[in-house]
Structure 1
Amino acid sequence: MWNVHGRVENANGFFYIRKLNNVRICSAEVRMMNRPHMSSDLVADLIVEGVRDNPLTRPVHVVRDFKFGYGLRVSYHQAWLGVEKAKGEIFGDYLMSFDQLRWYVDVAKSCNPGSYIEFECDDDTKRFKRLFVSFHCSISGFNYCRPLLFLDGTFLKGRFRGNLLVATGKDGNQGFFPVCFAVVGSENQDNWHRNLGLVEVLPKVFPMAVHAYCLYHLKMNLRHHLRGMFYGLKEKLITLFGKCAYAPTEETFHQCLVELKTKDGSRVEKFLDDIPYDHWSNAYFRGQRFGEIWSNVTESFNSWIQEERHLPITKLIDSVRIKLMRKIAKRRELVNKWNGLICPKMVSKLHDGFNTSRPWIVSSFGNDVYEVHSHPSVSVDISRRICSCGELQLKGFPCTHAVGAIQKSGHDLSLFVDQYFYIQSYQESYSFPIYHVPSIWKPDCNVDGDSEVVLPPLSKKQPGRPNKKRIRSNGEKVRQITCSRCGKVGNHNKKSCKEAL
């Protein structure tokens, strides 16, 4: 008996309910929240704007929103299909996006002269192999940044997975500066040539450069190497390892190293055998790291493109281009508001050094050589830019002792700061434009008009720990956890774990 009748009024476009008989005679048992007409197409239509605002929308979010927003129960499969269709409508098809690269690469290079964009696919299988992208603005702007490259890779989250390899620099104000990136089917030595193969390939690509490992990843590897050890001792060893890495002089380094090996000699020595000192310690590093011992700048880039990692490949590349274009424009506006010679963050470091060195007594020995009576006291040679603490040589930036000595000498402090930290260099690094790529030229079919299209790479299952499960008597799946200390499966008390050790 329940029915409703309504119509749209042409005069104002409003929907009017003309008749409503709100009487239900069906029992509660037959009222169901599942609706057979709630297809994935309808789900896609309802969530398309939400997906446009948030490309990271997940099917579980759709199921929850339909439950609380509409009072309807949508299956996970319907929600997943709806999300995929909405993404396809907004960002394009994942499959055809690989073939659209042929069009995009040509147009992007013609619109941005001086850019290096190379796209490769397998001649036999016609499957995607790799794509390398470095825009002209990044290539030319890097000349005014510190000569440091931070290399890392991350997984893509789209339907066909793959890896994103990135090389990032740092500008004069400590901000990350994207230099180039590549999308590859997998992270291997061949792809890094154009960490499995990175260490082997670096001497070939950069024969005159020196390479250092990220301290964060080394600590994570050491923590894994010391698994099963008492937690307090393990963390103490990791802290001592960090002190060795930061030690600016060989004497300080070996003092920390002796203490480190004394605590647990055999396991730590075995770990250190695989990593030469010049690849991780400040004291033995053969180049200049400008105080950089972490590769967290690449993590900043990965966070910067967190949403884009879920997009089809052509949309991914163009979205990174757009973000880079906006970043350049924003930093151009920012630098126009600065005054002075040195970038603000580096000026702040100079002020901190000045405030720290104010209580110290500085004695002159002539020829711009000074002794700073700190704890401990050090000698500073201003003309040669050498401090016995070692930090001035490592960072290319006045340490606290050097700031005190320079102030005593009466010289201009800014003259002892490397050019990379000058506002002028910062301005030059963002002075090169990046241009738009009009999608109006985008063809409706494959570029050459032939029947062959570029296919996606064969996606591989990402490495990870298998999820072991068992079945309860009621049919419910339960995850089983293996103890990392004794290897037993399931819950057990600490006593049995210690006995196993």
Structure 2
Amino acid sequence: MVKHNPGTVTRIRTDDDDLFKFVYIALGCSVQAFIKYCRPTLIIDGGYLKGEFKVNARVWEYLQNINPETRARTHFPGNRYFLMTSNSVESINSMSRFARKMQILMLIEYFRATTQQWSFQKRNVVAEAKTTLTPWTEMIIKANKKPCNNWMVYPISNSRFEVKSSTHKSVIVDFQQRTYTCRRWKIDGLPCGHVIKVLTMNHYEDCFEFTLKAYFTETLRKTYEDSVNPLPSPSEWAIPDDLMIMKPPIMERR
């Protein structure tokens, strides 16, 4: 894998009895694309309580006494992670539900071949894109424009504006400091309705300057510019002399 896809990172972990525990593989082209072009993303998977639960008074008081900067992304002063989601994990689990019954080497090859196909398809799609922002981004910005048609803008200075929505909620947009009290731009990196309304009032036709580079078509094109290469037949593999022999894992029936 490393030889045919330079920059690939691989790790294999066994227990004390040399029983296989897990294998980690990050394809080189994916690693470089993530570092250079993608937004920092934290993917979390877990189980959720589905019964009826209530927050008692002591818990509520405890939460109220915690600084919002330490428990809410909208108030966090930095940009450590932009997204918190498990959607990608769930999609991969669903896509590979049958492949996960394969032997380990076959499963690894399944994921590699799937990534090769995805990269090729994405590269072809983005090659036909003609807009500065990706089609998905254009769709989101268009949706953000809809509710702000009747909003009112009141200039405070040349760079600060007060925007009042139809519910009379007031939001301050500061272009010089790039701060917006609704904090949507800080989370999404996309112009919210308040920013769009001010730009429209000032006769700006696009929102490029207030959109993260991760949403530009050129960024997407660069993300998939490198290919995932296939592997030769196992009979052509170079087997090292110090190859570690692992035992298969003990599986529990579920």
Tell me how far apart the structure 2 counterparts of residues 435 and 426 of structure 1 sit (CA, whole Å): 20
Aligned partner of 1:125: which letter?
A: D
Greater helix content: 1
Q: CA deviation at 1:139?
A: 0.3
Shift of residue 460, structure 1, vs aligned partner? 4.5
Query: What is aligned with 1:457?
Result: 249
* 2:9 corresponds to: 116
Assess, with a 3 A threshold, how the Cα gap between structure 1 residues 151 and 138 changes in structure 2: closer, same or farther: farther
Q: State the Cα deviation string for residues 44-101 of structure 1 (Å, max 9, x = none).
A: xxxxxxxxxxxxxxxxxxxxxxxxxxxxxxxxxxxxxxxxxxxxxxxxxxxxxxxxxx
Q: What amino acid sits opposite 1:146 in the alignment?
A: R
- Which residue, out of 210, 223, 243, partners 1:416? 210
How far, CA to CA, are the matches of 1:347 and 1:307 in structure 2? Answer: 36
The residue type paired with residue 105 of structure 2 is: T
User: Structure 1 residues 120 and 282, CA, compared in 2 at 3 Å: closer, same or farther?
Assistant: closer
**Which residue in 2 is equivalent to 1:198?**
none
Percent identity (aligned): 24
Matches within 5 A, 1:261-340: 264-266=56-58, 268-269=59-60, 281-288=72-79, 289-290=81-82, 292-340=83-131
Does the residue aligned with 1:359 lie in a helix, a strand or coil?
coil
TM-score (norm 1): 0.44
Contact 1:361 1:372 in 2 (8 A): yes
Question: Secondary structure, in 3 states, of the residue corresponding to 1:372?
Answer: strand
In the TM superposition, what whole-angstrom CA distance separates every residue of 1:20-41 from its partner, at most 9, and x where no partner exists? xxxxxxxxxxxxxxxxxxxxxx
Q: How does 1:169-188 map to 2 (within 5 A)?
A: none
CA distance in 2 between partners of 1:129 and 1:323 (Å): 23
Q: For residues 93-132 of structure 1, what are the alpha-carbon distances to aligned partners after superposition, in whole Å with 9 as ceiling and x for unaligned?
A: xxxxxxxxxxxxxxx111111111123445x633224321
Q: Amino acid of the residue matched to residue 32 of structure 2? A: S
Q: In structure 2, what is the Cα distance between the partners aligned to 1:404 and 1:276?
A: 32
Given residue 118 of structure 2, which amino acid in structure 1 is its aligned partner?
Answer: K
Distance 2:17 2:176 in 1: 62
CA offset at residue 318 of structure 1?
Answer: 0.6
**Highest RCO, 1 vs 2 (Cα 8 Å, sep ≥ 6):** 2
Amino acid at match of 1:115: T
User: Residue 192 of structure 2 is aligned with which of 375, 399, 403?
Assistant: 399
Matches within 5 A, 1:38-57: none
Q: Which moved more, 1:430-439 or 1:300-309?
A: 300-309
Q: Distance in 1 between matches of 2:4 and 2:85?
A: 36
Displacement of 1:453 in angstroms is 4.0
Q: Is it true that 1:434 corresponds to 2:225 in the alignment? A: no
Structure 2 unmatched runs, 5+: none
1:373 shift after superposition: 2.4
The equivalences for 1:71-82 within 5 A come to none
TM-score by length of 2: 0.83
> What is the 5 A alignment of 1:226-241?
226=52, 234=53
> What's the Cα RMSD here?
3.0
Are 2:171 and 2:181, in contact at CA under 8 Å, matched by a contact in 1? yes
The SS at the match of 1:410 is coil
Q: Which runs of 5+ in 1 are unaligned?
A: 1-107, 153-194, 196-216, 227-233, 238-260, 463-501
CA distance in 1, matches of 2:217, 2:139: 14
Cα distance in 2 between the residues matched to 1:391 and 1:449: 56
- 2:171 and 2:68 map into 1 onto residues whose CA distance is 25
1:466-496 deviations in whole A, cap 9, x for unaligned? xxxxxxxxxxxxxxxxxxxxxxxxxxxxxxx
When Rg is computed on C-alpha atoms for both structures, the one with the higher figure is 1
Contact kept, 8 Å, 1:382 with 1:406, in 2: the verdict is no
CA distance in 2, matches of 1:442, 1:127: 26
Contact persistence 2:137–2:215 (CA under 8 A): yes
Q: CA deviation at 1:140?
A: 0.9
**Closer/same/farther in 2, CA of residues 120 and 389 from structure 1, 3 Å limit:** closer
Q: Secondary structure at the match of 2:132?
A: coil
From the superposition, tell whether residues 358 and 340 of structure 1 become closer, same or farther in structure 2 (CA, over 3 Å). Answer: same
**Aligned match of 1:166:** none
Amino acid at match of 1:454: M
- Residues 279 and 303 of structure 1: CA distance in aligned 2, closer, same or farther (over 3 Å): farther
Deviation at 1:426, TM superposition (A): 0.7
Check 1:414–1:119 CA distance in 2 against 1; reply closer, same or farther (3 A cut): same
CA contact (8 A) 1:325 1:434 kept: yes
Aligned residues: 246
Give the 3 Å change call, closer, same or farther, for CA 442–455 of structure 1 in structure 2: farther
Q: Deviations over 1:435-464 (max 9, x none)?
A: 111115357xxx5799x94211233566xx
Which string of whole-angstrom CA distances, capped at 9 and with x for unpartnered residues, describes residues 260-295 of structure 1? Answer: x5xx425x549969x9965653344354354x3432
The answer to whether the 8 Å contact 1:385/1:392 transfers is no
- The aligned counterpart of 2:24 is 132
- Decide whether aligned partners of structure 1 residues 304 and 276 sit closer, same or farther in structure 2, where only a CA change above 3 A counts: farther
Once residues 245 and 187 of structure 2 are traced to their aligned partners in structure 1, the CA distance between those partners, rounded to angstroms, is 52
Q: CA deviation at 1:403?
A: 0.8
Deviation at 1:298, TM superposition (A): 1.8
Q: Per the alignment, in what secondary structure is the counterpart of residue 366 of structure 1?
A: coil
